[in-house]
């Protein structure tokens, strides 16, 4: 497998592919993207906020991607678009294509005779593909991956090394699963009986939509009886835990170390910051943004941004604040008694 070779593009070619307007030299050739501070004359950068205008003036970049409000903030050749950050992402994809894999099955791979493996698929060394597996066209499965029986993997999907997909799970087209991802492990289903835990067999599946990307060492547990479902376009960062029977709506995104307990329902176009925690059996509606480190203990019925994390402070200040928190109930009771006394005094005066 080889990395795609970065290409050189004229600004005019980029706009012809991606849209936007050019101000300045459309024939300027750029070879890569780069940050404002380190860009060279043959590279293109971007500015998404007015607060970076000073850095733009000092940048050696050959060209810049800007929004309409910044179209006149530099004399450099520039591409004007409505969303510079998203445009920059697409330009970066042009310069940095996905790895190129030759079709075929490595001699060390173990592929069950009943599996459907198109000629366009690339199967790496020491891959295991079980009975009844169905692969779409142009799938790339890197070395050391394991696909259990009856797994379905859609076209143009890319599995990095050491991905494990348990039996019966279904993954849509154009999925990207990074190393260490585990799809379909048993959920944490246990019943207590006379002081001992009894395992509940997890007989559901994991069903994942199209255009989903899942980061390294993230786990998505199979359903206990029904399926765990991840919608189209969902983006999960590294080291996330998605428990059994969770539903995540289309185009939601979650940062690293998020934990979602069993049977939580998360709507479409939601975001969860790093280390956010969502308790089980809760429902979160569409278009909810949960801040980093926030613990969600109740269902959220209204779109918006929710935060529960306390800002950090020096350790001595934290100790004092923690001491106050321990006595909040007593303080509330004293406040209630004071309010009653004030009301009684006002009555006597009147």
What are 70-82's pLDDT values in tens digits?
999 899 999 999 9
**What percent of the chain is modeled with pLDDT above 70?**
98
What are 128-167's pLDDT values in tens digits?
999 999 999 999 999 999 999 999 999 999 999 999 999 9
3-class DSSP state for residue 161? coil
Helix, strand, coil percentages in the chain from 3-state DSSP, rounded to 5: 20, 30, 55
What are 211-240's pLDDT values in tens digits?
999 999 999 999 999 999 999 999 999 999
Helix (DSSP H) and strand (DSSP E) numbers for the chain: 5, 38
6 pLDDT band, cuts 50/70/90, is: low
53 pLDDT band, cuts 50/70/90, is: confident
What are 268-289's pLDDT values in tens digits?
999 999 999 999 999 999 999 9
318 pLDDT band, cuts 50/70/90, is: confident
pTM summary value: 0.89
CATH 2.60.120.10 fits 163-306, yes or no: no
The span from the CA of 187 to the CA of 242, in Å, is 9
Degrees (nearest 5) of the Cα angle 170, 171, 173?
A: 140
Burial class (CB in 10 A: 0-12, 13-18, 19+), 219: middle
Scored b (16 or more CB within 10 A) or e, 61-96 reads bbbbbbbeebeebbebbbbbbeebeebbeebeeebe
Looking at residue 238, what is its pLDDT? 98
What are 25-44's pLDDT values in tens digits?
999 999 999 999 999 999 99
Looking at residue 4, what is its pLDDT? 55
- Asked if 145 and 163 count as a contact pair (C-beta separation under 8 A), the reply is yes
**Same fold across 9-95 and 163-306:** no
The span from the CA of 52 to the CA of 33, in Å, is 17
Q: In this structure, what token pair is assigned to residue 237? A: 């960062």
Looking at residue 5, what is its pLDDT? 59
Q: Is the pLDDT of residue 266 over 80?
A: yes
Known catalytic residues are: 244
What's the mean per-residue pLDDT of the chain? 95
Mean pLDDT of the region 330-347: 91
Structural domain spans, the chain: 9-95, 163-306, 315-349
β pairing state of 134-135 and 152-153? parallel
Q: How is domain 9-95 classified at the CATH fold level?
A: 3.40.1390
């Amino acid at each position: 497998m080889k990395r795609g070779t970065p290409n050189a593009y004229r600004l005019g070619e980029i706009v012809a592919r991606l849209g936007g307007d050019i101000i300045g030299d459309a024939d300027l050739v750029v070879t890569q993207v780069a940050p404002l501070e380190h860009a060279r004359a043959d590279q293109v950068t971007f500015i998404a906020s007015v607060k970076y205008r000073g850095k733009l003036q000092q940048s050696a970049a050959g060209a810049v991607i800007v929004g309409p409000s910044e179209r006149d903030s530099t004399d450099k050749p520039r591409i004007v678009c409505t969303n510079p950050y998203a445009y920059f992402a697409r330009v970066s994809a042009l310069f940095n294509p996905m790895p190129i894999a030759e079709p075929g099955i490595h001699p060390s791979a173990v592929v069950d005779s009943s599996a459907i493996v198109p000629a366009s698929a690339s199967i790496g060394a020491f891959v295991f593909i079980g009975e009844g597996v169905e692969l779409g066209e142009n799938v790339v499965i890197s070395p050391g991956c394991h696909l259990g029986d009856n797994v379905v993997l859609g076209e143009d999907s890319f599995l990095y090394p050491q991905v494990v997909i348990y039996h019966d799970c279904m993954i849509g087209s154009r999925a990207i699963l990074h190393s260490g991802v585990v799809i379909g492990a048993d959920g944490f289903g246990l019943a207590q009986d006379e002081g001992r835990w009894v395992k509940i067999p997890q007989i559901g599946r994991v069903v994942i939509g199209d255009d989903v990307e899942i980061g390294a060492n993230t786990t998505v547990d199979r359903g206990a009886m029904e399926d765990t479902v991840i919608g189209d376009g969902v983006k999960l960062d590294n080291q996330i835990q998605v428990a059994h029977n969770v539903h995540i709506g289309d185009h939601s995104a979650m940062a690293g170390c998020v934990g979602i307990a069993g049977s939580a329902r998360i709507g479409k176009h939601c975001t969860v910051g790093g280390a956010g925690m969502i308790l089980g059996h809760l429902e979160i509606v569409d278009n909810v943004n949960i801040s980093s480190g926030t613990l969600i203990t109740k269902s959220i019925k209204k779109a918006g941004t929710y935060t529960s994390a306390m800002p950090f402070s020096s350790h001595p200040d934290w100790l004092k604040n923690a001491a106050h928190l321990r006595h909040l109930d007593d303080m509330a009771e004293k406040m209630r008694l004071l309010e009653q006394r004030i009301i009684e005094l006002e009555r006597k005066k009147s």
